[in-house]
Amino acid sequence: MSEPAAHVVILGAGHAGGTAAALLRQYGHAGPITLVGEEPIAPYQRPPLSKAWLKGEADADSLALKPLEFYAEHDIDFRPGVRAESLNRGARTVGLSDGATVSYDALILATGARAIALPIAGKDLAGVMSLRTAADAEALKAAIGPGKTLAVVGGGYIGLEVAASGRALGAEVVVLEKEDRLLARVACPQLSDFFQGYHQTRGVRFELGCSVTGFEGKDGHVTGVTLADGRTLACDAVVVGVGAHPNDELAKDAGLECARGVVVDLDARSVTDPAVFAIGDVAHRPMPIYERMFRMESVPNALEQAKQAASAIVGRPRPAGECPWQWSDQYDLKLQIAGYAFDTTEILVRGDPAAAKFAIFHLKGDQVQSVEAINAPPEFMMGKLLILSRKPVNKAKLADPSISMKEVAA
């Protein structure tokens, strides 16, 4: 597939798709590149939408991955506002929502994931929002401020980031979570407790173990959230952040093997069709350090897989295996997470949660599987290296913050 004139078609112009297009040119791909995106604007960074951008600390230009001119200057045929509607793998063509048909030599599926909507009464009222796109973020920003009450359904990372930004903008914030703790799907109880306390001190209210049954409205706009226990909590806006679903329908309809997303190999290549790649939130990919396959929703994953696919297409060596990671900013907290806590046998806390500077290590025997670091970059950085190397650690040293991370790993 490294023939110089190969036409690469990328479906999805998010962080993964936009990066793949730019990397193909950076790696010297000379053939045509078509980048198809459903949103009306050029690829941009989503993480700031719930953080710096929402608080007014970043503008639209700084969100853009590249300036709009970049695509024309680098001979990338960027088609905004267009969806892919069909995929014919036999003919190697994609049918688009504007009626066009494009043929490809290599196809990269970078269609991402969409926010899961709650199938409950009032979900279509104005003011009930999700946060996925720049347009979503504009709507949210307009709806919150002093004197407003924001209800956040879902106590995951997006919900907590929005809660922190909402407080920074002067809104009252209540977070509704169906589990009995925050971050239940993604973090350990120690971290859940820490975040709950930190947010409560800054004025966020929590309703845990709480089942949302519907939204009430007046004149078509949301006015409250109804709960299974009969209460109604008044609010001016709602953000629903209860997870995302991969946009893999096109792939499924075309007969590509999908699990929780499109199943790919270490080159991000579909296991069903060597001419098709899938990257970012839509891919179900192997992660050798954990000897398993799964789907990740993170920018570092999108970038890594963009590198894998672009490398395979131009015939560069595959990038060295990575340690997956992600981050979150809330108030003055920088949370950096390395790895995933699979098969762990022990949790070890290093540092003092009360001082908001600590790290939680998830161990499998004496190997580090994952680390969640709060305002603790050395623990994050060294944790990442330890996860990747699979090197055993001395747990007594690791638990002692007076011993530096360099010495722990030595």
Partner 1 sequence: MAKITYIEHDGTEHAIDVKTGLSVMEGAVKNNIPGIDADCGGACACATCHVYVDEAWLAKTGERTAMEESMLDFAEGVAENSRLSCQIRVTDDLDGLRVTMPESQH
**Where does this chain bind partner 1 (CB under 8 A)?**
22, 25-26, 45, 47-48, 62, 64-67, 70, 74, 299-300, 303, 320, 322, 325, 327, 329, 334, 336, 377-378, 381-382, 385, 405
Nearest residue (CB) to partner 1, 74 versus 83: 74
Measured from the CB atom, is 174 or 310 closer to partner 1?
310
Cα dist from 141 to 158, 302, 346, whole Å: 15, 26, 41
CA angle 259, 292, 378 (to 5 degrees): 120
CA distance 43 to 70: 11
CB of 10 to partner 1, least distance (A): 15
CB of 161 to partner 1, least distance (A): 12
**At its nearest, how many Å lie between partner 1 and the CB of residue 319?**
9
Tokens 């990747």, residue? 388
CB of 409 to partner 1, least distance (A): 10
- Considering the complex, what minimum distance in angstroms separates the CB of residue 91 from partner 1? 32
Please say whether the dihedral angle defined by the alpha carbons of residues 288, 289, 291 and 295, taken in this order, is positive or negative: negative
Q: What is the DSSP code (8-state) at residue 180?
A: S
What are the b/e assignments for 54-87, b being 16+ CB within 10 Å? bbeeeeeeebbbbeeebbeeeebebebebbbeeb
Question: How many Å apart are CA 164 and CA 141, to the nearest integer?
Answer: 13
Q: Would you state the structure tokens that stand for residue 286, as one six-digit string?
A: 């192997």
Name which of 26 and 190 has its Cβ closer to partner 1: 26
Query: How many helices and strands, by DSSP H and E, does the chain display?
Result: 11, 27
| Identity of the residue, 80 or 378, whose beta carbon is nearer to partner 1 in the bound complex | 378
Nearer to partner 1, 58 or 139 (CB): 58
Min. distance of Cβ 303 from partner 1 in angstroms?
A: 6
Backbone angles phi, psi at 82, to 5 degrees: -130, 135
- Please say which residue, 171 or 313, places its beta carbon nearer to partner 1: 313
DSSP for 270-286 reads BSS-TTEEE-GGGEEEE
Taking the complex as a whole, how short is the minimal distance between the CB of residue 271 and partner 1, in angstroms? 27
- CB closer to partner 1 out of 45 and 226: 45
On whether the CB atoms of residues 147 and 314 are closer than 8 A, the answer is no
